Amino acid sequence: NAGVMQNPRHLVRRRGQEARLRCSPMKGHSHVYWYRQLPEEGLKFMVYLQKENIIDESGMPKERFSAEFPKEGPSILRIQQVVRGDSAAYFCASSPNMDGSSYEQYFGPGTRLTVT
C-alpha cells in the first residue's frame, strides 16, 4: 500500500516563475492537506481539500497561491510569481477523515522549494 506521494522532491525556481507541487494521497483517502515548513519552524496549515472542493483555505496566502484536487489526478499546489520568501518545504498529508475531525494524517516526503 503506497504512502502519500509528492513530486518533485526538490524544485528550484527563479524569482517570478511558477511552481507546481503535486500530491497523490494514500489509496482510499479522499482528504488532502497542505502544510508549509519554513526553515527552523514548525509546519503551518495552508489548505484542506476534498475531491473537487476546497474545504478550508484559511492558511493560504491571499495572493499567488492556489490549490486544487480534481476528480482525477493528484492535488496541485500552485505558486505563481515565486519570491525568495516562498522557499520552504511543502508537505502534503492525506487522511480518511470520516467525520470531520482530526484523524491520523499521513504525510508525504515533502517538496523542498528553493527560489533563487
Partner 1 sequence: AQKVTQAQTEISVVEKEDVTLDCVYETRDTTYYLFWYKQPPSGELVFLIRRNSFDEQNEISGRYSWNFQKSTSSFNFTITASQVVDSAVYFCALGFYNQGGKLIFGQGTELSVKP
Site residues, partner 1 (CB under 8 A): 31, 33, 35, 41-45, 48, 55-56, 59, 89, 91, 93, 95, 97, 99-110, 112
Minimum CB–partner distance for residue 112 and partner 1 (Å): 7
Neighbouring C-beta atoms of residue 115, cutoff 10 Å = 19
Shortest Å, Cβ 85 to partner 1: 19
Which positions ≥6 away from 5 have C-beta within 8 Å?
A: 23, 24, 74, 108
By beta-carbon proximity to partner 1, the closer residue of 18 and 52 is 52
Q: Least distance from C-beta 74 to partner 1, angstroms?
A: 18
Smallest gap from Cβ 82 to partner 1, in A, equals 20
Q: Which of 37, 34, 30, 55 is nearest to 46 (CA)?
A: 34
Between residues 5 and 76, which has the closer beta carbon with respect to partner 1? 5
